[in-house]
Amino acid sequence: MGVQENIEHAASERAKFREMKEGTAEDWAIIGGEYRAFAKGLPDRVLDHLKLLDGDFGGFPICRLEHSLQTATRAHRDGRDEQYVVMALLHDIGDTLGSYNHPEVAASIIKPFVSEEVHWICQNHGAFQGYYYFHFLGMDQNARDKFADHPHFEACREFCEKYDQAAFDPDYDSEPLEFFEPMVRRVMAKPIASAYAKALEEE
Ligand SMILES: [Fe+2]
Ligand SMILES: [Fe+2]
């Protein structure tokens, strides 16, 4: 297919409206079809973005990708299920775009695919991880205590203690990213909870 044909083909597949309020069922059939195909590519986009952490040390003993792999490997070897391991792998993926709120970025990405508890661990791991270093930066080491009565406090404390704060060892034999790819694809194959879940089913 030539360039011009490509452009025409692409043009024929686009909605006609200039404002959404002009939209028709035909327009939305086109967009819906594109959305289903695009959504299937999510694991690839997430894995590509995770690779941006490669070589990003930020002063730490190992780079952020290696830390992610080590956190996930430790969780996997400790018998955690795939949702948990994928969360462990992705928990710092927001470091690049969410430099001031990275846990929330990762939590938003995994939210449609994991349990409420696993999502909560991811969303709040920053305050719990702070137990191990906030006091060195003039911050409150016990910032996590604001969640003391929360039902997922212990689960988040355990994630940081066993896997996250423990995953800075340059000599640890982490599994490579390829090892976790099938898990990411399985966990992200279908949303458990999403406002768009119904649109995805109409295939
Ligand atoms: Fe983190
Ligand atoms: Fe981390």
CA of 196 to the centre of ligand 1 (A): 28
Q: Letter for the amino acid at 91?
A: H
Residues 93-126 pLDDT 10s = 999 999 999 999 999 999 999 999 999 999 999 9
**Percent of the chain, pLDDT > 70?**
92
Q: How far apart are CA 69 and CA 66, in angstroms?
A: 5
More confident: 198 or 62: 62
More confident: 13 or 22: 22
Q: How far apart are CA 2 and CA 175, in angstroms?
A: 43
Contact 129/143 with Cβ under 8 angstroms? no
Quote the pTM value. Answer: 0.90
Fold entry, domain 43-187? Hypothetical protein af1432 (1.10.3210)
Average pLDDT over every residue of 66-75: 98
* Domain range list for the chain: 43-187
CA of 162 to the centre of ligand 2 (A): 11
Confidence of residue 34 (pLDDT cuts 50, 70, 90): very high
Nearest CA to 65 out of 74, 77, 56 is that of 56
CA of 125 to the centre of ligand 1 (A): 6
